[in-house]
Amino acid sequence: MAAPGKMRTSLERQLQRSQRWLGEDRKITLNARIQLAQYYDRHGYWAEALAVWQDVLASIKRRREADSETRWHVEFSIGRLYRELDRPEDALPILRDVAGYFQRRFGETDRRTIGALSWVAGTLRKLEDYGSALDVCRAVVASSTLAFGGDDPATLDAMASLIICLGRCNEFVESRALLVTLLERRTRLLGADHPKTKWAESILASYPDQR
């Protein structure tokens, strides 16, 4: 297996050769560009990944494949990277469009839909729009529970996000009840000393006793 630096150089050269000999929008060039974007993304070169994913999207549109599923997965990567680069105002409309497409195409309980909505909720929280985030978090918890069950890691993470939003919206009674459930599940599944269990325990301890 090639070292990371050598792999990057190899992928960059592969794209350059495809561009030079085949043009910008041939399938081989598009695939080379996607491979390079995935490499940058995977290794944390987010600015570089964003630029290449944007080039991929432009090429897809020039190829008249704007309605393809690939286009929307590329859009999701672009929205996610805007968030990672601390540009939530740019991320939000893209992630909402992606979530809407996945919802129409695959349904409420599809993992792609749930994943995209989770990123929408997180972006709304980043923008401190906790009221809107709360509505999305409720939908994610409901869909994740139905699709994967109450003990699935995706469901538990969605519950944690919902708890944060409830607290920010001063819905402490509901938040505390959900925390008790989350703490029980994480203790049972992950153990008492796991960081995620400790997080739920510390948040619950900060709430006033309801007895």
Ordered domains of the chain (ranges, CATH): 102-211 (1.25.40.10)
pLDDT attached to residue 3? 65
- Token code pair at residue 41: 């993304």
Using N-to-C axis directions, what is the helix angle for 153-168 and 111-126, rounded to 10°?
A: 30
Q: Check residue 66 and give its pLDDT.
A: 83
DSSP string, 12-80: HHHHHHHHHHH-SSSHHHHHHHHHHHHHHHHTT-HHHHHHHHHHHHHHHHHTT-TTSHHHHHHHHHHHH
**What is this structure's pTM?**
0.89
pLDDT per residue, tens digit, the chain (211 aa), is 556 678 999 999 999 999 999 999 999 999 999 999 999 999 999 999 999 999 999 999 999 988 899 999 999 999 999 999 999 999 999 999 999 999 999 999 999 999 999 999 999 999 999 999 999 999 999 999 999 999 999 999 999 999 999 999 999 899 999 999 999 999 999 999 999 999 999 998 888 665 4
Residue 97 has a pLDDT of: 97
Q: What is the pLDDT of residue 67?
A: 84
Structure confidence at residue 111 (pLDDT): 95
Q: What is the model's pLDDT at position 206? A: 86
